[in-house]
Amino acid sequence: MIHNNEFKNNSFNRNLHWIISDSCNYNCSYCFIKNKRDYPVSPLLIAEALRGKLKGRWNFCISGGEPFIQPNFIALIKKIINFQQLDSLEVQTNFSSEVKEIVEFLNLTKNKL
């Protein structure tokens, strides 16, 4: 899903909300994520395909299920934070990952998160 919002200075801020998977490690009664499936295309391949194709400045929001349980999630974040067009990054998570992985994520994203 991509949204465009116009600011007062007539420049555009583009938002990309990327649901990288429906998989989650919890089964919360209130949550709408009940299907535990993965999408057929690797998020790493999608990120590589996006490189250089985005125009302007972008805010990324990554959600799922639970993004941190996806294979190569940290590798995906490493790719995204190096996009020249990246303005900010949001990840919707339940923080159930290993502390080591969360710390690595926070260290990688400190200027964009």
Q: 0.85 exceeded by the pTM?
A: no
What's the confidence (pLDDT) of residue 36?
65
**Strand, helix or coil for residue 14:** strand
Largest Cα–Cα distance of the chain, in whole Å? Answer: 44
**Whether 55 contacts 84, CB under 8 Å:** no
Confidence of residue 4 (pLDDT cuts 50, 70, 90): very low
